[in-house]
Amino acid sequence: WNGEDDLIELGRRIHALGLHYGINDADLGDRLYVDHPKSLTPQIAPIDQIDLELGEGDRRIMELREILELAAVERAASRITSQQLQELEGVYAGYTGDDDESYARYTAENRTFHCAIAQATGNQELTEMLGHLHDRLARFMVLRHAGETMNLSHARIVDALRARKADEACRAMRDELTETHEIVLERVIQEQGDYWSLGRLKG
pLDDT of 128 over the 60 cut: yes
Which three-class secondary structure state does DSSP give residue 154? Answer: helix
Do the Cβ atoms of 21 and 161 come closer than 8 Å? no
Question: How high is the pLDDT of residue 45?
Answer: 44
CATH class for the region spanning 6-202: mainly alpha
Question: How high is the pLDDT of residue 142?
Answer: 65
Q: Pick the closest to residue 173 from 192, 199, 153 (CA basis).
A: 153
Mean local confidence (pLDDT), 129-157: 84
Instruction: Answer yes or no: pTM beyond 0.75.
Output: no
pLDDT of 117 over the 90 cut: yes
Q: What b/e readout covers 182-201, taking b as 16+ CB neighbours within 10 angstroms?
A: ebbbebbeeeeeeeeeeeee
SS (H, E, C) 88-101: HHCCCCCCCCCCHH
Q: Pick the closest to residue 17 from 73, 70, 68, 74 (CA basis).
A: 68
Alpha helix ranges (H) inside 22-145: 25-28, 56-76, 82-89, 100-119, 124-136, 138-142
CA–CA distances in Å: residue 162 to residues 9, 25, 115, 159: 34, 41, 17, 5
Question: How high is the pLDDT of residue 31?
Answer: 62
% of the chain with per-residue pLDDT over 70: 64
At 66-100, the pLDDT tens digits run 999 999 999 999 999 999 999 999 999 888 888 87
Q: Is 51 left (phi over 0), alpha (psi -120 to 50) or beta?
A: beta
More confident residue, 182 or 11: 182
| Domain ranges (residues) in the chain | 6-202
Mean pLDDT check: name the lowest of 144-148, 162-166, 171-175.
144-148
Mean pLDDT check: name the lowest of 45-49, 102-106, 124-128, 188-192.
45-49
At 33-73, the pLDDT tens digits run 655 445 444 444 444 444 445 567 777 888 999 999 999 99
More confident residue, 117 or 49: 117
Question: What is the Cα–Cα distance from 176 to 34, expressed in whole angstroms?
Answer: 27
